[in-house]
Structure 1
Amino acid sequence: MRDAERPQADKVTLPLFPLQTVLLPGAVLPLHLFEPRYRQLMVDLLSGAVPERRFGIIGIKSAGVREVDSVDHLHPIGCTALLGESERLPDGRFDVVTHGERRFRLLDLDQTRAPYLIGTVEWVPDEPVPAGAEEATERLSASARSAYRRYAESAWEDETWPSPPPETPPAELGYLLAANCLLPLPDRQRLLEETHPLRRLRAVNKLLSREAGFLAALNAVPAPPPEVPHLTTRACLN
């Protein structure tokens, strides 16, 4: 569901899962949860104590932060995650799959209400695409898709890589094109924070063209940085 279709509220509260990665709307993020407080978060999500199986994923600014206790430790914009498939292991750990939904701006943290952090947040909608921008939208969408194809052809031998359907709205297209690509954390955070769909498409085109050039020159897929989970394995980030 898009931002414009959701009921708006000035402020809401969300359970938070700070990570050294960035979840984009529309992206899929698998997680392996072993820390007691995040096991409890999963229990609360699955039992309905936290409604709608939703929580917030937000990036930690520095890998040197061991314990988040201030909004200053976190990026200002995060993304809600919808809990999908889940498996509780015999020792109490969880393997889960989450799906990125909508952006929020973190306003405040509560460290006392639950074993995990609770954030006070406000939603971050996109700016509207100006009337009469159909030609620019079509051109930018085509350029971003072309950059994605070049990246995919360089990164993956299998030609069955996913591609967003033709009817994908421009507000969603930039996120979906970037979702499966191994972009550095700062680039993914900038895409998450960009509120204009056309500027986001332009940025995706530039970033994926850059990465495709690197891959073509190296003739190899670079290893993902430590803060970005490998896309074919469960992430262990808590």
Structure 2
Amino acid sequence: MPPCRMADAAASLPLFPLHGVLVPGAALDLRIFERRYLDMVGECGRNGSGFGVCLILEGNEAGAPATPVAFGTEAVIEDFGNTPEGLLSLRVRGRRRFHVLRTRVRDTGLVVADIEWRADAGASSRLRPEHALLAELLRRILLQVDAGHVDPDPALFDDAAWTGWRLAELLPLSMPQRQALLQLDDPHARLQFLLDGIAADPN
């Protein structure tokens, strides 16, 4: 299957490399203290734009610029505040996936990437019968973790993309597993990846 790209293929995005994977729709809390990222947040606020979250391939979250993997997720800022230590805190949510084409490092140490947006393959992402077990698993997980919250629209559980991303967010996956899911363009392939992993787990 050929790569699936969005129409607005080329863009530039500042990166926030982490020892973690953000998937579309998932929320993430961040603490910001380095000047390069404080400047990045200010720039995003002025432009009404997001920034990219990528898993670190080599290096650390603080200090010298880390080497990110080639696939990540755009993070949009939903809320901000201050920690008890006086640091900037952010609540961000994953939106679009992207593929890094090339990177450059600003004088401040901020990594900026030229990227292409990635879209799910196929015209329909309606859940297939063989993946119905995963939708039921997600319902049970949400009953535990979202007790007291507004229930999702029942129709969402028939959406292969939504179901796959929520399971990728909530299941106890390793970072390489979550990254592998992020790099798949086919929502049905993501669900099959999860189903195969559950079937292979003796526990």
The answer to whether TM tops 0.5 is yes
Does residue 52 (structure 1) correspond to residue 48 (structure 2)? The answer is: yes
- Partner amino acid, structure 1, of 2:154: P
Distance 1:140 1:40, change over 3 A: farther
Q: Unaligned stretches of 5+ in structure 1?
A: 215-238
Does residue 166 (structure 1) correspond to residue 154 (structure 2)? The answer is: yes
Structure 2 CA distance, aligned partners of 1:138 and 1:83? 33
Structure 1 CA distance, aligned partners of 2:15 and 2:43? 13
Q: Secondary structure of the residue that 2:134 maps to in structure 1?
A: helix
Contact 1:164–1:177 (8 Å) recurs in 2: no
Structure 2 CA distance, aligned partners of 1:210 and 1:85? 39
Contact 1:39–1:93 (8 Å) recurs in 2: no
CA deviation map 1:181-222 (0-9, x unaligned): 3311001001101111111112223445667x64xxxxxxxx
Contact 1:147–1:205 (8 Å) recurs in 2: no
Count, aligned residues: 196
Q: Normalising by the residue count of structure 1, what TM-score does the alignment of the two structures yield?
A: 0.69
Q: Which has the higher strand share?
A: 2
Contact 2:44–2:50 (8 Å) recurs in 1: yes
CA deviation map 1:13-72 (0-9, x unaligned): 0111011110000111111111221122122222x1xx2231110111246786336xxx
Identical counterparts, % of pairs:
26
Distance 1:28 1:124, change over 3 A: same
Q: Normalising by the residue count of structure 2, what TM-score does the alignment of the two structures yield?
A: 0.80
Question: 1:178-217 to 2 correspondence within 5 Å?
Answer: 178-207=168-197, 214=203
Contact 2:6–2:118 (8 Å) recurs in 1: no
Q: Unaligned stretches of 5+ in structure 2?
A: none
Aligned partner of 1:106 in structure 2 is 100
- Of 106, 124, 129 in structure 2, the residue corresponding to residue 139 of structure 1 is 129
Query: Which deviates the most, 98-107 or 196-205?
Result: 196-205
Measured after TM superposition, the shift of residue 112 of structure 1 is 2.4
When the two chains are superposed, the root-mean-square deviation of aligned CA atoms in Å is: 3.3
Contact 1:17–1:58 (8 Å) recurs in 2: yes
